[in-house]
């Protein structure tokens, strides 16, 4: 095989627009695993949201990367191999930067998440991700987090799609180099601690499995996937992905047309179907 380890984003990449993983993608993953390859889901989702979906895709062992790479867990046991978070004051600064803009904010611990608004956007998010927020309205989220000394892994804002790029750039300027500010969907602007991204996750997997990065492939669709592609030897973007990814990657079919299966079979395994 050309690539011994294959990292795939989930939403917008492995999952179709209806939030399902196609049987064609599942079959390609199974074929890759049977041939000795290692497949890893690498997502911005929380661990409790991502684990059931990884298992649904047929993964019963190996590693799952959640929270953009801040959390890495063993799929079979749920044991954490990497468990990073914000320093407390950095978490509060990120939350307050969003609060002062009156945004719909989520904050995450490894165990769960909290939202400052109960609205249709939250209901949609909970349905897609299969998780439920604790809604905090009696005090600012920043005070809630500080008073309870919560260990925060990720902070995000839910926004209308036309707002997201401007907000991302504005927050990146304001928060400077101590943070990684990115977009993981049309609706989400996410803030992570500096260095906690999917590129660092590729580095972790390379060291963990003793596989050189030139033998690792990665596929994604959003800006948060860009570090992952930059660190991997094989770079793939689904057709529905952002142009920034397509500029450095081989473009395969969209997430609704089994782009992950195409990348695995045609490029990682170099199988030419008759």
pLDDT digits (tens, 9 = 90+) for 203-233: 999 999 999 999 999 999 999 999 999 999 9
Q: What is the pLDDT of residue 209?
A: 97
In the numeric block, the tokens 């290692």 are attached to 38
Distance (Å, whole) CA 49 – CA 274 = 38
Q: What is the pLDDT of residue 274?
A: 46
Q: What is the pLDDT of residue 273?
A: 63
Listed in sequence order, the residues at least 6 apart from 77 whose beta carbon sits closer than 8 Å to its beta carbon are none
**Cα atoms in the 13 Å half-sphere on the side-chain side of 104:** 18
pLDDT tens for each residue of 89-126: 999 999 999 999 999 999 999 999 999 999 999 999 99
Report yes or no: 71 and 63 within 8 Å, Cβ to Cβ: no
Distance (Å, whole) CA 202 – CA 207 = 9
Q: Average pLDDT by consecutive 10-residue portion of the chain (274 residues)?
A: 97 97 97 97 96 92 95 94 96 98 97 96 95 97 98 97 95 92 95 95 98 98 97 98 97 98 97 64
| pTM for the model | 0.93
Order of strands across the sheet with 154-158? Answer: 134-135, 113-115, 104-108, 154-158, 188-193, 179-185
Give burial (CB, 10 Å; 0-12/13-18/19+) of 272.
exposed
């Amino acid at each position: 095989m050309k690539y011994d380890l294959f990292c795939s984003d989930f939403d917008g990449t492995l999952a179709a627009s209806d939030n399902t993983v196609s049987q064609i993608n599942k079959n390609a993953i199974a074929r890759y695993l049977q041939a000795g390859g290692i497949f890893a889901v690498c997502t911005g989702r929380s661990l409790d949201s991502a684990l059931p979906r990884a298992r649904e895709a047929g993964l019963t062992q190996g590693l799952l990367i959640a929270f953009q790479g801040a959390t890495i867990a063993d799929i079979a046991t749920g044991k954490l191999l990497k468990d990073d978070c914000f320093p407390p004051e950095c978490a509060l600064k990120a939350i307050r930067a969003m609060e002062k803009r009156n945004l719909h904010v989520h904050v995450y611990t490894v165990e769960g998440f909290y939202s400052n608004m109960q609205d249709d956007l939250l209901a949609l998010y909970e349905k897609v991700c299969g998780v439920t927020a604790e809604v905090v309205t009696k005090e600012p989220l920043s005070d809630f987090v500080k008073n309870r000394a919560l260990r925060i892994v990720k902070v995000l804002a839910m926004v209308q799609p036309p707002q997201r790029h401007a907000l991302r750039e504005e927050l990146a300027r304001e928060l400077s180099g101590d943070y990684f500010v990115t977009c993981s969907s049309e609706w989400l602007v996410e803030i992570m601690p500096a260095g906690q991204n999917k590129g660092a996750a590729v580095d972790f997997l390379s060291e963990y499995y003793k596989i050189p990065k030139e033998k690792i492939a990665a596929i994604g669709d959003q800006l948060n996937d860009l570090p992952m592609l930059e660190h991997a030897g094989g770079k793939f973007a689904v057709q529905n992905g952002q142009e920034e990814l397509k500029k450095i990657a081989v473009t395969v079919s969209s997430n609704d047309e089994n782009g992950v299966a195409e990348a695995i079979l045609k490029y990682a395994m170099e199988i030419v179907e008759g």
